[in-house]
Amino acid sequence: MPNHVLVEVTRGALVESVHRGAMAIVDVEGAVRFALGDVGAPVYTRSSLKPIQALPLIETGAADAFGVSQEEVALACASHSGEPMHTTRVAAWLKRIGCGEGDLACGPHMPRHEPTSEAMIAAGQKPSRLHNNCSGKHTGFLTVAKHLKAPIAGYVDVDHPVQQAVLTSLRRLSGIADPTWGVDGCAAPNFAIPLAAFARALAQLAGLRTPGAQRILSAMMAHPELVSGTGRSCTALMRAANGKAAVKIGAEGVYAAILPQAGLGVAVKIDDGASRGAETAIAIVLEKLGIIDSSTDLSRAPVLNTRGALVGEKRPAKALVEARI
Amino acid sequence: MPNHVLVEVTRGALVESVHRGAMAIVDVEGAVRFALGDVGAPVYTRSSLKPIQALPLIETGAADAFGVSQEEVALACASHSGEPMHTTRVAAWLKRIGCGEGDLACGPHMPRHEPTSEAMIAAGQKPSRLHNNCSGKHTGFLTVAKHLKAPIAGYVDVDHPVQQAVLTSLRRLSGIADPTWGVDGCAAPNFAIPLAAFARALAQLAGLRTPGAQRILSAMMAHPELVSGTGRSCTALMRAANGKAAVKIGAEGVYAAILPQAGLGVAVKIDDGASRGAETAIAIVLEKLGIIDSSTDLSRAPVLNTRGALVGEKRPAKALVEARI
């Protein structure tokens, strides 16, 4: 039984493309409050895992030992746009822990933020590993490695103490003993668990049922632009939620929301991996849960042509519009 | 009944994302040789329509009247990458028909070809309408308008003689009397017809059953890099097919193939609009039809991380692997 269509993209009078997917909402007691589609098959959590990947930074005591700021905790949870506000902070943090760009295991890529990448091209600058959207997460990993006096080299090996600490946190929060893993875009291990289990883990963070949760949620909600970047979905949703949600997108159509006041975790996976689908799906759910105001219209987006004319719309499909969440 | 999964993207041991879609293969007599999924619902043909949108350029006599070269016919069928080889030819063609960039109804966007766009950024240049991937198609439209002594202004209105000539061609080839239309990314009307009817229209071109077909197919197959651009799917497929296929991708997961020797038309639509799905689906079909050699491996692509390591694979899914085409 294929998953429902969650999001549709129109052009003129027709629906041109559709995004199927699954979604789970779980409460702090671990009860599934809402599920749509297959929430039992393992899905890679991708960058939506970052708030959990950042837990050892707090819970091992590494953050306190190295004077890690809340801005830096936000960067540890970030898929950032490579803007100067991101890269300068990551560089300073790396230096403070006695590391440098060369210690990062992630590869370089151009900043997602166009004005930044255009300025770099104009200046003849190549991207560094600092520009990798995961450089904050990796600096968090390095901070933990330093604190644990574990080797810096190989900190992204799944058997390294840092990754084992992440895995221990994920096991505890999700209840999944043995997650599948693959290699993420940034070379770190990424774990795959059922969507319902992922929502359960996020709900455990929402309920502050692990020591590091408060600090991670506060950091993300206080610094949405550091978790994401100028003009992006996570930034807009966290600003609109105004302290009621920490959200994190992941590659291949994943989206996570941690709702501390509601005591819920929400996990979305779009089958085809489209971010545009995940962004619309999470936004309508946050609207329905009263986390963001529907007047912000974050769950709908115009489709414009190259002349700027309105030619269609991206919107929630029937299964989400009619869902009793 | 949802369409089958045609393409899958793996990471480690799991399938991470999937692309569903439909496909039709029709012969020159109009018989459906193969169909998978819903080939009866109207789908926007997007830029895969360009070989048909270029027919009036030949069939009205406009191309002969204005000395349009085969390179220019290829550009009329193009979603080009905005490389100098594209924009200089379009600019010269526009000038020859007494028009300029300001007459183009398409909006500006940065070239898809990264070295070109980076050079422009470095030089502080803004993109012009010439860089729009459809500027060749629009110049073809303008050439027809000039030849018909129709107004230049409003040449993208659906009631304009140029668009009515396109519609007449599409009706004749597809057998669909009244296609739905919407506005394409380039501001021109785009028509939606069932996938089987679109494949039928493409087969009519393959069978040279309309006067302009020979010239359009020859132009596309002789100049794949002008129809597309450096390093792109259409370029690679047409080179590999070596005269046995003219192919054209469209936005939102559409792909068309015109096979003159086999006498077939092939139309693909990926439900979610992903180009990566359409590229793989058309490639495996061309392999199965013996149009391209499977050793070229165009139907599979590695998924690499930012360090360049192999972390997964994009490949045809079971429904296509096992399809008896």
Q: What average pLDDT score do residues B55-76 get?
A: 98
A residues 2..41 contacting B (CB < 8 A): 2, 9, 11-14, 16-20
- The Cα–Cα gap between A143 and A152 comes to 9
Q: Return the pLDDT at B62.
A: 98
**Beta bridge mates, B314:** B9, B301
Q: What average pLDDT score do residues B80-98 get?
A: 98
Q: Which of A7, A104, A272 to mutate to test the interface with B (most CBs of B within 10 A)?
A: A272
Of the candidates B1, B276, B23, the residue with the CA atom closest to the CA atom of residue A253: B276
The Cα of B267 is separated from the nearest Cα of chain A by a number of Å equal to 15
At A33, is the secondary structure helix, strand, or coil? strand
Q: Return the pLDDT at A227.
A: 98
- The Cα–Cα gap between B193 and B173 comes to 11
B residues 120..159 contacting A (CB < 8 A): 121-122, 124, 132
Judging contacts by C-beta atoms under 8 Å, the chain B residues touching residue A19 are 272
Judging contacts by C-beta atoms under 8 Å, the chain A residues touching residue B253 are 17
Ramachandran area for residue A290 (φ above 0: left; ψ -120 to 50: alpha; else beta): left
Is residue A175 within 8 angstroms of chain B, CB to CB?
no
Is residue B308 within 8 angstroms of chain A, CB to CB?
yes
Q: Return the pLDDT at B1.
A: 86
Can you tell me the ipTM of this complex? Answer: 0.97
The Cα of A65 is separated from the nearest Cα of chain B by a number of Å equal to 30
Distance of CA A132 to the CA centre of its chain: 15
Which helix (H) or strand (E) covers residue A18, if one does?
Answer: strand A14-27
The Cα of B252 is separated from the nearest Cα of chain A by a number of Å equal to 7
**Nearest by CB: A107 against B11, B20, B308:** B308
Query: 0.90 exceeded by the pTM?
Result: yes
The Cα of B293 is separated from the nearest Cα of chain A by a number of Å equal to 28
What are the residues whose beta carbons fall under 8 Å from the beta carbon of A112, sequence distance 6 or more? A81, A82, A133, A229
Q: How much of chain A is in helix, strand and coil states, percent to nearest 5?
A: 40, 20, 40
A residues 227..256 contacting B (CB < 8 A): 252-253
Q: Return the pLDDT at B294.
A: 86
The Cα of A150 is separated from the nearest Cα of chain B by a number of Å equal to 23
Q: Please, are residues A300 and A284 in contact by the beta-carbon 8 Å criterion?
A: no
pLDDT tens-digit profile of B129-151? 999 999 999 999 999 999 999 99
Q: Return the pLDDT at B38.
A: 98
Helices A135-147/A84-96 angle, 10° precision? 10
- The Cα–Cα gap between A181 and A146 comes to 24
**Nearest by CB: B306 against A106, A270, A306:** A106
- The Cα–Cα gap between B145 and A91 comes to 58
Q: What average pLDDT score do residues B106-133 get?
A: 97
- Print burial letters for A23-53: b (CB count within 10 Å at least 16), e (below 16): bbbbbbebeebbbbbbbebbbbbbbbbbbbb
Q: Return the pLDDT at A294.
A: 86
- The Cα–Cα gap between B110 and A62 comes to 45
Q: What is the CA radius of gyration of chain A?
A: 19
Q: Which of A11, A79, A131, A270 to mutate to test the interface with B (most CBs of B within 10 A)?
A: A11
- A181 phi, psi to nearest 5 deg: -135, 155
DSSP state of A215: H
| Cα angle A316-A318-A323, degrees, rounded to a multiple of 5 | 90
List the single residue in A with minimal CA-CA distance to B114: A121
Q: List, edge to edge, every strand of the sheet that includes B189-194.
A: B42-44, B189-194, B180-183
Q: Model confidence at B325, in pLDDT bands (50, 70, 90)?
A: very high
Which helix (H) or strand (E) covers residue A281, if one does?
Answer: helix A275-288
Judging contacts by C-beta atoms under 8 Å, the chain B residues touching residue A307 are 105-107, 187
Q: Return the pLDDT at A172.
A: 97
| Cα angle B315-B321-B323, degrees, rounded to a multiple of 5 | 145
Neighbours of B209 (CB within 10 A): 15
Q: Return the pLDDT at B90.
A: 98
Model confidence at B311: pLDDT above 90: yes
One digit per residue, the tens of pLDDT, for chain A of length 325 reads 899 999 999 999 999 999 999 999 999 999 999 999 999 999 999 999 999 999 999 999 999 999 999 999 999 999 999 999 999 999 999 999 999 999 999 999 999 999 999 999 999 999 999 999 999 999 999 999 999 999 999 999 999 999 999 999 999 999 999 999 999 999 999 999 999 999 999 999 999 999 999 999 999 999 999 999 999 999 999 999 999 999 999 999 999 999 999 999 999 999 999 999 999 999 999 999 999 998 888 999 999 999 999 999 999 999 999 999 9
Dihedral of CA atoms B125, B129, B131, B136 in degrees, nearest 10, equals -160
Please indicate whether, in this complex, the C-beta atoms of B305 and A184 are within 8 angstroms of each other: yes
Is residue A105 within 8 angstroms of chain B, CB to CB?
yes
Model confidence at B296: pLDDT above 90: no
B residues 269..298 contacting A (CB < 8 A): 271-274, 277
Residue type, A196: A
